Amino acid sequence: MQGNRILLVVGGGIAAFKIPELIRLLRKQGMAVTPVLTQAGAQFVTPLTLSALAEAPCHQELFDLTRESEMGHIELSRAADLVVVAPATADLMARMAGGLANDLASTLLLATNKPVLIAPAMNVRMWEHAATQRNRATLAEDGILFVGPDEGSMACGEFGEGRMAEPEAILEAIQRHLGERPLRLPPEAVVRLPPRGSLAGKHILVTSGPTHEPIDPVRYLANRSSGAQGTAIGAALRDLGARVTFVTGPASVPPPEGVEVIRVETAEEMRVAVEHALPVDAAVMAAAVADWKVKNASASKIKKDGCGRMPVLEFSENPDILAWLSRLSLGRPKLVVGFAAETDDVIAHATEKRLRKGCDWILANDVRPGTEIMGGTENAVTLISDQGVESWPRMAKDEVAARLAARISLALEGR
212-228 residues labelled b (16+ CB within 10 A) or e (exposed) = bbbbeeeebbebebbbb
Q: Does 319 belong to an annotated binding site?
A: yes
Is 13:89 a contact under the CB 8 Å cutoff?
yes
Q: Does 321 belong to an annotated binding site?
A: yes
Distances from the Cα of 235 to the Cαs of 68, 136, 191, 241, in angstroms?
Answer: 42, 12, 22, 10
Q: How many CB atoms lie within 10 A of CB 359?
A: 25
Q: Does 301 belong to an annotated binding site?
A: yes
Q: Does 303 belong to an annotated binding site?
A: no
58 catalytic? Reply is: no
Q: Does 146 belong to an annotated binding site?
A: no
Q: Which of 58, 156, 307, 359 is catalytic?
A: 156
Residue 55 CB contacts under 8 Å (≥ 6 apart), including other chains:
27
Q: Does 320 belong to an annotated binding site?
A: yes
Residues of the binding site? 291, 301, 319-322, 339, 353, 357
* Catalytic residue positions, numbered: 156
Tell me the binding residues for CTP: 291, 301, 319-322, 339, 353, 357
